[in-house]
Structure 1
Amino acid sequence: MSFNALVLAGSRGGVDPLADYAGVTDKALIRIGGATMLERVIVALRAAGAAQIAVSANAPAVRAEALRLGAEPIDAAAGPSLSTLQGLRALGAPLLVTTADHALLRPEWITDFLADAPADADVAALLARRDTVERDAPPTRRTYLRFADGGWSGCNLFLLRTPAAEAAVGLWMSVERDRKRPWRIVWRLGPGTLLLYVTGRLTLDAALARLGALVGVRAAAVAARHGLAAVDVDKPADLDLVRGLVERS
């Protein structure tokens, strides 16, 4: 499948503790195994067949790095969801979205994801089962979404397959706005869905189907084949872990 790719590399402003820990100005410029994290991500995307790669960033040094790597820098918005929306409108669908801190990203994870995503899904997300993460990754603290079919960890890899996926990004934007008012997020699913969740009877697929139905899209979860796909670099312990893994590979 022919696709374009968007790498989210925006910053929240101020001093980034992780960049400061690594001694660089911007998180995306942290070096691992002789390459910046942004370079590692772009190389993986290109090897997986991305036709065009854009980097959503405002920091001049990150934009310069994107140009050096043959990617197109585009302006980052106030948050990742709005940046994704702008990227979708600029690049079109199908669009693969990932983040600059996905430093272990491998081309085969991308091609597997694209192959496993349902052909009729407007939007798909890669997630790893907890047992898969624990099988493949060294002991590391991950955040898991708890559903009836087990714990799941996000893998920072999304496929916006059709133009209809724009509606799903709009839902993501509203969730970001309400992140400090969780009752509003939960209420979107309705009291019946909330009851299923709190009683441990809601599966991940059912939750995504209900979320997609809110905005009229088909949303799907794809189970990652490799647990390391859930490991990103978000804090100093992650950076030390990933550097160690790369050095030993």
Structure 2
Amino acid sequence: MNAAASDITAILLAGARPVPDPLAVAAGVAVKPLVPVAGEPMINRPARALLAHPAVGRLVVLTQAPELFAADPATAWLAEHPEVRFERSGGGIASSLIALLDRGDLPFPLLMTTADHVLLDGSMLDQMVREASGADIAVAMVERRTLLARYPGSRRTWLKFRDGWWSGANIFWFGSGKARPVIALWQEVEQDRKKGWKIVSAFGPLTLLGAVLRIATLRGGIARVGRRFGIVARLVAMEKAEACIDADKVDDVMLIEGILADAAE
């Protein structure tokens, strides 16, 4: 690994969408990150994975309602943890991230993921840190054959390129302040939902640009888009199929709980 020990600032997205989340409604909780998966709120597992990784020095939980996590006995440990701080998010991921960057008190590199990334583990973080280190921005993706070889019944959203069909793994790397212009573009698209906000939220700004520009291969395309911005940009093709399985739907939760049960045996 190139990143120094305890050098990374991890950002865990734990916000709520403008409309009620079906999983949260069904579980009777205020926000999706509090939905129980395998017996505990889903946010706990990715939070523990990040805090346990030797390259992560601090964890920022970005949410509109920090008080909900402090008040829940199952997540109160996050509010009390010395390496965790809560920050109140705004209406969008990119705008909230830019607001944090503009304050200037978050040291790079930043590694961002989501509270529904329940299967996040040390080996995924190892690969992301190893392959993203040195880049100004990197996005983790899973190629369809990797997923279907292990979970043939799993259904994802795919983007087609010459080098495969790709699905987002919800792990993003911002290695330096040079990434800010790309995040600003992300913010612009996020604010205009007619311009493909669903794709941006799932795959990130570099992948969206690659799709819009009809770049032939995702690997080379992301690097080329980075060069247009004067930055080093990379695709991290995740080795583990589980990297793109998040707790977004009831079927996902059932699959995740089965995976965790098998791992515990």
Classify the TM-score, shorter chain. Answer: 0.7 to 0.9
Aligned pairs (5 A) from 1:14-33: 14-33=19-38
Given candidates 53, 59, 65, the residue that maps to 2:59 is 53
Moved more, 55-64 or 207-216: 207-216
Task: Please report how far the alpha carbon of residue 148 of structure 1 lies from its aligned counterpart in structure 2 after TM superposition.
Answer: 0.7
Q: Partners in 2 of 1:210 and 1:178 — Cα distance? A: 25
Write the letter of the residue equivalent to 1:150.
G
Partner of 1:67: 79
TM-score, structure 2 normalization: 0.81
2:233 maps to amino acid: A
Aligned counterpart for 1:173 among listed residues 182, 187, 203: 187
Other structure's SS at 2:194 match: coil
Structure 2 equivalent of residue 34 of structure 1 = 39
**Aligned-residue offset at 1:138:** 5.0
| Deviation for aligned residue 1:247 | 2.0
Is contact 2:10–2:50 with CA below 8 Å preserved after alignment?
Answer: yes
Q: Matched residues in 2 for 1:33 and 1:27: separation?
A: 14
In terms of mean alpha carbon deviation, does 55-64 or 45-54 score higher? 55-64
Given that residues 117 and 247 in structure 2 are in contact (C-alpha distance below 8 angstroms), is that contact kept between their aligned partners in structure 1?
yes
Give the conservation status (yes or no) of the 8 Å contact 2:189–2:195: no
Residue pairs, 1:97-176, within 5 angstroms: 97-117=112-132, 119=134, 121-137=135-151, 139-176=153-190
The 1-side partners of 2:108 and 2:70 are apart by: 23
**Percent of pairs with identical residues:** 35
- Where does structure 1 lack aligned partners over 5 or more consecutive residues? none
What is the CA–CA distance in structure 2 between the aligned matches of 1:33 and 1:108, rounded to whole Å?
21
Which string of whole-angstrom CA distances, capped at 9 and with x for unpartnered residues, describes residues 117-151 of structure 1? Answer: 252x2001111111011123351110111101010
- Structure 2 gaps, min length 5: 200-204
TM-score relative to the length of structure 1: 0.86
Does structure 2 retain, via aligned residues, the 8 Å contact 1:118–1:220?
no
Report the CA distance shift for 1:115/1:56 in structure 2 as closer, same or farther (over 3 A).
same
SS at match of 1:143: coil
Aligned residues: 238
- The Cα shift of 1:68 comes to 4.0
Relative distance call for 1:10 and 1:196 in structure 2 (3 A) is closer
Partner of 1:229: 243
In structure 2, C-alpha distance between the alignment counterparts of 1:7 and 1:194, rounded to whole Å: 26
